[in-house]
Amino acid sequence: MSELRDGFFYHPNSIAPLAQMQRLLVGEHNPAYDNLFSTTISEVDGEIGEVEALRKKLLLQLVSLRKKLSSLRAHRAEITEAVQTFTETGEIAPVLIPACEAMVAKEQADLRAADAPTKDTEIANAKAVLTTALPEGWSVTETTADDEFVYVTIRCKRTVTAPVRPDPEETRARIIDRVRQAFENYRLDFMNRPQPIRLSAVPANPRASP
């Protein structure tokens, strides 16, 4: 019988696919326990999970939209019936009164346009005041305003510049090369590890003699 190595049934440093891959890259893996392709499988399982979650979300949205559409069509039929009643009796049902959303939106847009010159002036004044009051090294990067406040964003350059970060694609290519090399170096470790015994259930034969 092959000698059982430490960690054959568990690994004290985490069973997460990323942890297994990190152990492989530094040569501290346990081929009797770690799964050579756990990260690959985990990545596609994660993408499947994300798409399934999105699918469920979209299905719920579809159900909601169908209910909304059904309600609007029923409301449209109610309006049509009320118009017919008005034609016959002159009665104006509440359902015939429009919501006037377009008129409200236009009025709000006109009010914003009328306030724009004043807002621009206040933004410029705030930027000018802060620009002269800020200590050396500080500067104003953005100024905005709403109906009540003016907002100013300022910045100061770091005293220690962060090192240049490589492009994500460069990082990915470098890591993939390391993983591919690790697969080549240690594939025999995983190919030669003890395989679990496959147990199969055999249905009992009631006619079998004792």
| Interval 144-200: pLDDT, tens | 999 999 999 999 999 898 899 999 999 999 999 999 999 999 999 888 876 666 666
Model confidence pLDDT, tens digit, residues 151-160: 999 999 998 9
| Residue 4, pLDDT score | 47
- Reduced 3-state DSSP string for the chain: CCCCCCCCCCCCCCCCHHHHHHHHHCCCCCCCCCCCCHHHHHHHHHHHHHHHHHHHHHHHHHHHHHHHHHHHHHHHHHHHHHHHHHHHHCCCCHHHCCCCHHHHHHHHHHHHHHHHHHHHHHHHHHHHHHHHHCCCCEEEEEEEECCCCEEEEEEECCCCCCCCCCCHHHHHHHHHHHHHHHHHHHHHHHHCCCCCCCCCCCCCCCCCCC
Supply the pTM of this predicted model. 0.68
Listed by start position, the domains of the chain span: 99-161
- How would residue 42 be classed by pLDDT, with cut points 50, 70 and 90? very high
